[in-house]
Structure 1
Amino acid sequence: MTHAPLRVRTADVPDGGMASFPHGDRKVLVVRDGDELRAFDAKCPHAGADLGKGLRCGARVVCPWHHATFSADDGHLLEPPALDGLKRYTLTRDGDAWEVAEEAQAPAKPPQGAADGHTLVVGGGAAGFMVAQSLRAAGYTGDLTMVTQEERAPYDRTALSKAYLTGKKKPETLPLGGGDWAQKQRVTLRSGVRAEKLDHAAKRLHLAGGEVLPYDRVVVATGASPKPLKVPGADLDGVYPLRSLADAEALRAAAQGARVVVVGSSFIGLEAASSLVGEGGAQSVTVVGQDAEVLGRALTPRVGRAIRRLHEDKGVRFVLEAEVERLDGGEKVEAVTLKGGERLDADLVLLGIGVSPNTDLLAEWRDEKGAVHVDAALQLAPDLYALGDIAAAPTVLGEMRVEHWRVALQHGLAAAQAILDVPGAAPMDARVPFFWTQQYGKSLRYVGHADSLDETHLWGDPDTLNFIEFTFDGEHTVAASGMGRDADLVAFEELLRLGRAPVAAEVRAGEFSLPERLRDAAPSGRLS
């Protein structure tokens, strides 16, 4: 289908800003600095958001949904969860108007570095994938080997508790980078292989079965394992974790027509509950939680209550301030008995009670909680990097270990840039933690990190799912969560990154526009 060429006047785009324009069945994002315009595909390559509804902060274009960030100069990727930069359009100037080329060009290459030798990546999750992907994108010419215990290439774990359980996302759409990613990126993929011992002094990785892999540098990104439920009956058939694609496949098949009890009222349990109670096919879903309200470690009771009501409206039942005494049944689980005596009939029990970092390979470096402490380049020792769920790493808010997808991808990108010594790359201590959850098509987003919820302040109304809740450490605003406030949360993340977040007294004084605050605080022009 042909359509008229897209023409954009300079005045159609605010100076130092951006706007998106329809272009046939697509949209084009146009950014402006003075009399210069540049054009990109406006569809975020991660999940398809219109980038024109996001925010620009100096040389950064930030997606409104999941905060993927791109260079306003050439569109290359600055922050995940997108895995690649933006396609570009050629602009031809005609007086005060610009005509946009019909076809888009490939994304620009990110800034390049240099390194060779053999890099060995242990782990095929988000962090392991992203370090390999980013190494190749930024010019790595050496050998790349990935060892993963799973029987498959890296894939999108975020879909497992959401669209995959409902059947909306098919297995063939899960692989990160596509089904031929390893071949395209020249990665020797050793799947279904377990690493047993790391001898870093000799630069050797010992595999189960006796094989030894030499390396020049090693990246350990072994992730975490679900915590077991330590009660009688926990070994019965019908008790499921949810960490891998194999877990999700088994759970989805078993859930059809089943009475499901979810043990754990945090994010993974609630995401799974929202998927199983609807299109996931469960007969009923009951969530058992130890806290007085759902998501009690991240949200205040008022906000948690609003999320719980969203579930209850869909038929999910909650039993809170409760602990499991035992699981009952013959060979297969039949019921969950709680301390206090209440008995919940169950054909299937899903465990969502947290994870433990897999740091056996790094036993000499790990602390009493199982984490390893790395620097801003994700380095643990010379030529030894540790990423993802296992790593306590610096951020703009201090050192922390964060078990979330986007942070793991950030680790992979930052480590690759450090290995290659990419000019101008942002280390981890210049980055902000962020995660999101989606339930019943509604997204809650969380920026920053708070160790406690002792001091908070709320803008908006959680009951209408339109709010932003701030958390303070003294006078410092260190975290914000919200729904229906995408632009505010993007702006808050960028303000945290710049060290310009509003202090507690300002937040408590009343609502104001965080995007406007960002425009006042952001660097101008094409400087990052």
Structure 2
Amino acid sequence: MTLNFKASDVTDGGMHTFEVGDQKVLVTRDGDDLHAFDALCPHAGADLGEGVRCGSRIVCPWHHATFHAGDGSLIEPPALEGLKEYRVKSDGESLSVDLEDEIKPPTPKPSHEDHHTVIIGGGASGFMVAQTLRHGGYAGKITMLTAENRAPYDRTALSKAYLSGKKPADKLALGGADWAKENKIDLREGVKVTKLDREAHEVHLDGDSLGFDAVIVATGATPNTLKVPGAELDGQYQLRSFQDAQALKDAAQGKNIVIIGSSFIGLEAASSLIEGAASITVIGQEAEIMSRALTPKVGRAIRKLHEDRGVKFHLNAEVEAIEGSGKAEAVRLKSGERIKADLVLLGIGVKPNSDLLSDLANKKGAVPVDAHLLAAPNVYAVGDIALAPTLLGEMRVEHWRVALQEGMTAAQSILESFDLEPMDRRVPFFWTQQYGKSLRYVGHAESLDDTHIWGNPDELKFIEFAFKDGQAVAASGMGMDNDLAAFEELLLLGRVLRAEEIRKGEFSLVERLK
């Protein structure tokens, strides 16, 4: 199939999606320089032409994966790879793109042939370290040690598409079913690391040890447990691993489910399980759901999404005990109320698994790292355990995209190739999806004492800004995707929006980029 078009069909400095049969082609233009790519984001299939272009950056409107407008290379996850590029041919005023004429990306020069990188952990960060190393020409040995009996997989899908039955288990693997083999990764599943000897450059396993030149500690986090009478009863579940999700999915059908915790994981699970459950009740300690990220007005609007589908809420509530004979049968609140529970799901936060670096960790278990994720010479800490610098300050972030960013950054450090920005030039971003509606959050706000809303949360079309010292440091929203993507780009450019300007009334953040 061939796309025929004129340069004037694409705005100079912009981009445009063309349809060619059942395919979509994205064309970028900078003067007489035109490039053509697959238009659909490789992460979740969004049309990139409906996203934001900022200089050389193409930003996906859904999850802010970012690609280079000149060659389609990956700049920011959650996409795991760049865009397929096609050759643009010129014949006078007419231009054409033959979809059979693909431009293969240049093969990087092999490096680090005698180098060994050991990755402890098979989650998002660890996966992205290995992926970025191989894509960057790393020719040394990569060993990945994971405690799970499973290759790296998309953990974000567990509480969403997997629990709801929309995504089967065999579609969860990151990079595909044969990723480790294709990338020459020595993947060892079901392995427990007992010690990390930094001085000797050795990782100790049960009865074995591995030497390393660089080690990545990507050990993730462990869900918190209840400390109340009855916490030992059967019928209580967590949602962190595939095994957790599989057990929960198998047990939940037709049950009266009580979810303890009113943040993202618990609410995503409620959204995914409600169709097959007899009932779902969510218990939260705060006055409103997701109160650390959203003001009560926005929280109420999202809570209504759940209530309209039959989910019940007990907020400002505290669990006093789990009751039952052998297994959970009810949750008793401190108010004295007793809620029937055939199944209890705990969504009360996590603690970082930083035991291997305990001497470096702070009191909360977070491991301080520099902008390239180094915790100590040749030792990198990434993902849920890392206390890392960002554009908005030092923080430990438990979100998927940040974990992937940290994996990319650590790999770039090993490669000694700093084409990508270090972590202190990056902005945190996360999303949640409930009942097919996506809430996206850019930046970071320590408090929600000073905020302003554009749009109407009750109509699920809004942006809520949070301010610090009169400047917008975070924005969450629904139904205004491009403005949220533009907000992130403005933060990256250092063009911070001031509170008084935002309070004057709505304007296009996309236009502000130009």
| SS in structure 1 of the partner of residue 100 of structure 2 | coil
Structure 1 residues 310 and 92, CA gap change in structure 2 (3 angstroms): same
Question: Does the CA contact (< 8 Å) of 1:393 and 1:400 recur in 2?
Answer: yes
TM-score normalised by length of structure 1:
0.96
Q: Is residue 40 of structure 2 the alignment partner of residue 43 of structure 1?
A: yes
Instruction: Please tell me the residue identity of whatever aligns with 1:265.
Output: S
Map of 1:173 onto structure 2: 171
Residues in 2 aligned to 1:375 and 1:423: alpha-carbon distance in whole angstroms: 14
**Alignment partner for residue 73 of structure 1, among 59, 70, 75?**
70
Can you list the C-alpha shifts for 1:271-299, whole angstroms capped at 9, x where unaligned? 00000102xx1111000000000000100
| Percentage identity across paired residues of the two chains | 64
Map of 1:213 onto structure 2: 210
Residues in 1 aligned to 2:160 and 2:490: alpha-carbon distance in whole angstroms: 30
| SS in structure 2 of the partner of residue 103 of structure 1 | strand
Instruction: Please tell me the residue identity of whatever aligns with 2:400.
Output: W
Map of 1:228 onto structure 2: 225
Map of 1:526 onto structure 2: none
Map of 1:345 onto structure 2: 340
Map of 2:117 onto structure 1: 119
Can you list the C-alpha shifts for 1:54-83, whole angstroms capped at 9, x where unaligned? 011111100000000001010010000000
Residues in 2 aligned to 1:478 and 1:107: alpha-carbon distance in whole angstroms: 39
Question: Does the CA contact (< 8 Å) of 2:110 and 2:139 recur in 1?
Answer: no
Question: Does the CA contact (< 8 Å) of 2:51 and 2:61 recur in 1?
Answer: yes
Residues in 1 aligned to 2:476 and 2:37: alpha-carbon distance in whole angstroms: 30
Map of 1:198 onto structure 2: 196
Distance apart, 1:105 and its partner CA: 2.5
Q: Is residue 247 of structure 2 the alignment partner of residue 243 of structure 1?
A: no
Alignment of 1:267-282 (within 5 A): 267-278=264-275, 281-282=276-277
Can you list the C-alpha shifts for 1:491-522, whole angstroms capped at 9, x where unaligned? 00000111112111111111111000111xxx
Residues in 2 aligned to 1:214 and 1:13: alpha-carbon distance in whole angstroms: 54
| SS in structure 1 of the partner of residue 17 of structure 2 | strand
Structure 1 residues 109 and 496, CA gap change in structure 2 (3 angstroms): farther
Map of 2:484 onto structure 1: 489
Distance apart, 1:106 and its partner CA: 6.2
Q: Is residue 470 of structure 2 the alignment partner of residue 475 of structure 1?
A: yes
**Alignment partner for residue 418 of structure 1, among 407, 410, 413?**
413
Aligned residues: 513
Structure 1 residues 258 and 104, CA gap change in structure 2 (3 angstroms): farther
Residues in 2 aligned to 1:456 and 1:345: alpha-carbon distance in whole angstroms: 38
Residues in 2 aligned to 1:232 and 1:142: alpha-carbon distance in whole angstroms: 52
Instruction: Please tell me the residue identity of whatever aligns with 1:201.
Output: E
Instruction: Please tell me the residue identity of whatever aligns with 1:438.
Output: Q
Instruction: Please tell me the residue identity of whatever aligns with 2:19.
Output: P
Distance apart, 1:110 and its partner CA: 8.6
Instruction: Please tell me the residue identity of whatever aligns with 1:451.
Output: E
**Alignment partner for residue 98 of structure 1, among 91, 95, 100?**
95
Residues in 1 aligned to 2:107 and 2:507: alpha-carbon distance in whole angstroms: 36
Map of 1:464 onto structure 2: 459
Structure 1 residues 6 and 413, CA gap change in structure 2 (3 angstroms): same
Residues in 2 aligned to 1:320 and 1:455: alpha-carbon distance in whole angstroms: 23
Can you list the C-alpha shifts for 1:395-443, whole angstroms capped at 9, x where unaligned? 1111111000000000001111111011432111111100000000000
Can you list the C-alpha shifts for 1:277-333, whole angstroms capped at 9, x where unaligned? 02xx11110000000000001000000000000100011000000010000001111
Question: Does the CA contact (< 8 Å) of 2:73 and 2:83 recur in 1?
Answer: yes
Which structure carries more relative contact order (alpha carbon 8 Å, separation 6+)?
A: 1
Residues in 2 aligned to 1:476 and 1:298: alpha-carbon distance in whole angstroms: 17
Instruction: Please tell me the residue identity of whatever aligns with 2:323.
Output: D
Distance apart, 1:349 and its partner CA: 0.3
Map of 1:403 onto structure 2: 398
For structure 1, the 5+ residue unaligned runs are 520-528
Instruction: Please tell me the residue identity of whatever aligns with 1:175.
Output: A
Question: Does the CA contact (< 8 Å) of 2:390 and 2:427 recur in 1?
Answer: yes
**Alignment partner for residue 354 of structure 2, among 349, 355, 359?**
359
Map of 2:435 onto structure 1: 440
Distance apart, 1:112 and its partner CA: 6.5
Map of 1:498 onto structure 2: 493
Structure 1 residues 341 and 112, CA gap change in structure 2 (3 angstroms): farther
Distance apart, 1:113 and its partner CA: 8.1
| SS in structure 1 of the partner of residue 191 of structure 2 | coil
Q: CA RMSD in A?
A: 1.2
Q: Is residue 125 of structure 2 the alignment partner of residue 142 of structure 1?
A: no
Residues in 2 aligned to 1:310 and 1:267: alpha-carbon distance in whole angstroms: 14
Question: Does the CA contact (< 8 Å) of 1:335 and 1:344 recur in 2?
Answer: yes
Instruction: Please tell me the residue identity of whatever aligns with 2:70.
Output: D
Map of 1:164 onto structure 2: 162
Residues in 2 aligned to 1:136 and 1:517: alpha-carbon distance in whole angstroms: 38
| SS in structure 2 of the partner of residue 219 of structure 1 | strand
Instruction: Please tell me the residue identity of whatever aligns with 2:144.
Output: M
Distance apart, 1:381 and its partner CA: 1.1
Instruction: Please tell me the residue identity of whatever aligns with 2:339.
Output: L
For structure 2, the 5+ residue unaligned runs are none
Question: Does the CA contact (< 8 Å) of 2:117 and 2:215 recur in 1?
Answer: yes
Distance apart, 1:235 and its partner CA: 1.4
Distance apart, 1:108 and its partner CA: 2.5
Residues in 2 aligned to 1:480 and 1:110: alpha-carbon distance in whole angstroms: 39
Q: Is residue 297 of structure 2 the alignment partner of residue 299 of structure 1?
A: no
